[in-house]
A and B are shown apart, each in its own frame.
Chain A
Amino acid sequence: MVKSTKPVPDSMTPAPFRVTARRQDLADTFTIELEAADSPRGFAFRPGQFNMLYHFGVGEVPISISGDAGAGKLIHTIRDVGAVTHGLSTLKKGDMVGVRGPFGSAWPVDAAEGSDVVIVAGGIGLAPLRPAIQHVLDNRDRYGRFVILYGARSPKDVLYLPELQSWRGRLDTYVDVTVDHAESGWAGNVGVVTKLIERANFDATHAVAMLCGPEIMMRFTVAELTARGMDRGDIHVSMERNMKCAVGHCGHCQFGPKFVCKDGPVFPYGEIEALLKARGV
């Protein structure tokens, strides 16, 4: 092993970042923009990776990176569901956050070049896919047809609505949105997100799909995509498990023989199909 006579910072030590902007997206979901406190030197990451965000004295949570605001600014969209995420929800411009990362595997945006790209997102699952969407849009000529399908619980739970509308406004991108439950004021679709797949136009034999959402939603989406002729290896899913260290040391995120933190969170579906079917893994 490499001698550690001059120790590097331990893999568990967070770096201080400053909140440069905050936006409330939904009743329980907000977005913060971060910048390194010491040296705004940029933050390199690949779409699909995550950071561990530390709220002073409260604790740390894994949060997917949901965008790069340019000039090295990091964007995280967070749902307020626990003590730490609630703490993070109270942060204002100028407040500090600890960041460790980026960690984990990425969406196959390079391997997907030359293919149709199908994004299927559910709920807050759109957040980890946003960097992949941005990447495809920024390099639009490298990809075939681009399909973004998004399902949410109800109209008031639709994340990034203005952005969805602007993506939909492009002639080179197909965007379809549905909600599970709606009252009659909602002009959009009502029904499960899997129903959107039927109507979307893409070549299933030359497409790469990227899925993020609740596990049930991803399982049913895979069934729909494979029924349409997609190969399991071309379907990529982002998994969620308990994480404490993000570096493969704490054991919490084990998913069968996989560590979600370092082997995932993005997996080719074929690799984890059996694990997704088993209970309590």
Chain B
Amino acid sequence: MVKVEGLDKLLAEHPFFDGMNEDMRKTLSGCARNERFGPGEFVAHEGDPADRFYFVRAGAIALEFHVPGCNPIVLETLHGGEVFGWSWLVPPYAWTYDIRVLELTRLISLDGACLRKKLNKDHELGFELYSRFVPVMAKRLSSARLQLSDMYGRPCKKGE
């Protein structure tokens, strides 16, 4: 396993941590783990306990729903610099999608249970983390809504 100092350096390279003070980042790196997945592997399955969340360093993963009798529906693909898995923040802490790996992917994951403990004690750290999560969630929601609009198809059926 990689040393904590090394993980802190990897965290610092990820855009999610841009501008975060070093102490906080070091605290977080205490819950961190370096991971590697190959194409076709699953990082998580829908309904699994959500005990980790992930920072993509390089590679690509897909958030998917599987539909019996059909090919799975890809909801979104994520690449280096992005994050996924905030179910650890929301009871009952379970994954809502399958996370399938598309190509060789390097991730850093943080242990959710470990983090929840730290955040309960250190609200300042909690605020810092939430301030970084909320914009990501807002952007993801906005993208999802745009996808829903089916803008390249026929956004409305007016006048027929």
Q: At the interface, yes or no: A171 with Cβ under 8 Å from chain B?
A: no
Q: Known contacts A180-B152, A216-B151; is A186 also within 8 Å of B143 by CB?
A: no
The distance from the CB of B46 to the nearest CB of chain A, in whole angstroms, is 14
Chain B residues, Cβ within 8 Å of A190:
62, 74-77
Q: Mark B61-80, 1 if CB is under 8 A from A, else 0.
A: 01010000011111111010
The interface centre, meaning the residue of A157, A178, A182, A213 with most chain B CB atoms within 10 A of its CB, is: A182
Interface set, chain A 127-168, CB cutoff 8 A to B: 151-153, 157
CB of A216 within 8 A of CB of B143, answer no
A123–B79 alpha-carbon span in the complex (Å): 23
Interface string of A163-207 (1 = CB under 8 A from B): 000000000000000101111111111111011001100000000
- Please give the distance in Å from A75's CB to the nearest CB on chain B: 21
Q: Interface majority SS on A: helix, strand, loop or mixed?
A: mixed
Q: Tell me the complex Cα distance, A152–B150, Å.
A: 10
Chain A positions within 8 Å of B89 at CB level: none
Question: CB-CB < 8 A to A198: which residues of B?
Answer: 81
Would you call B100 an interface residue if the criterion is a C-beta within 8 Å of the partner chain's C-beta atoms? Answer: yes
B39 CB, nearest partner CB in chain A, Å: 10
| CB within 8 Å of A: which B96-138 residues | 100, 102
Known: A185-B71, A187-B102, A216-B155. A153 touches B150 (CB 8 A): yes
User: Most B CB atoms within 10 A — which of A152, A181, A192?
Assistant: A192
Q: Closest CB of chain B to A49's CB: distance in Å? A: 23
CB < 8 Å: which of A153, A178, A183, A186 contacts B153?
A153
Are A191 and B143 in touch, CB under 8 angstroms?
yes
A217 close to chain B: CB less than 8 A: yes
Residues in B neighbouring A199, C-beta threshold 8 A = 79, 81
- Chain A residues near B74 (CB-CB < 8 A): 181-184, 186, 190
**B149: interface (CB < 8 Å):** yes
B102's nearest neighbour on chain A, judged by CB, is A187
Contact across chains for A152 and B152 when beta carbons are under 8 A apart: yes
How far is B146's CA from A195's CA once the two chains are assembled, in angstroms? 11
Q: Is the CB of B147 closer than 8 A to any CB of chain A?
A: yes
- Taking CB atoms and an 8 Å cut-off, the chain A residues in 91-148 that contact chain B are 122-123
Minimum CB–CB distance from B135 to chain A (whole Å) comes to 11
Assess whether B152 is in contact with A122, with CB atoms less than 8 Å apart.
Answer: yes
CB distance from A208 to the nearest CB of B (A): 24
| Residues of chain A lying within 8 A (CB to CB) of residue B142 | 220
- Measured CB to CB, the closest approach of chain A to B148, in angstroms, equals 9
User: Which chain A residues border B73 with CB–CB below 8 Å?
Assistant: 181-184
A214 beta carbon closer than 8 Å to chain B: yes
**Cβ-defined partner of B150 (8 Å) among A180, A185, A191:** A180
Q: Which of A180, A183, A191 contacts B70 (CB 8 A)?
A: A183
Q: How many Å lie between the Cα of A184 and that of B64 in the bound state?
A: 8
* B15 CB → nearest A CB, Å: 9
> How far in angstroms is the closest Cβ of chain B from A151?
8
A122 CA to B147 CA in the complex, in Å? 12
Interchain CB contact under 8 A, A192 and B75: no
Residue contacts A-B, CB under 8 angstroms, 24 given: A123-B151, A123-B152, A152-B152, A153-B153, A157-B152, A181-B73, A181-B74, A183-B72, A184-B71, A184-B73, A188-B77, A189-B77, A189-B79, A190-B74, A190-B76, A192-B143, A192-B146, A192-B147, A194-B143, A213-B151, A213-B152, A216-B151, A217-B151, A217-B152
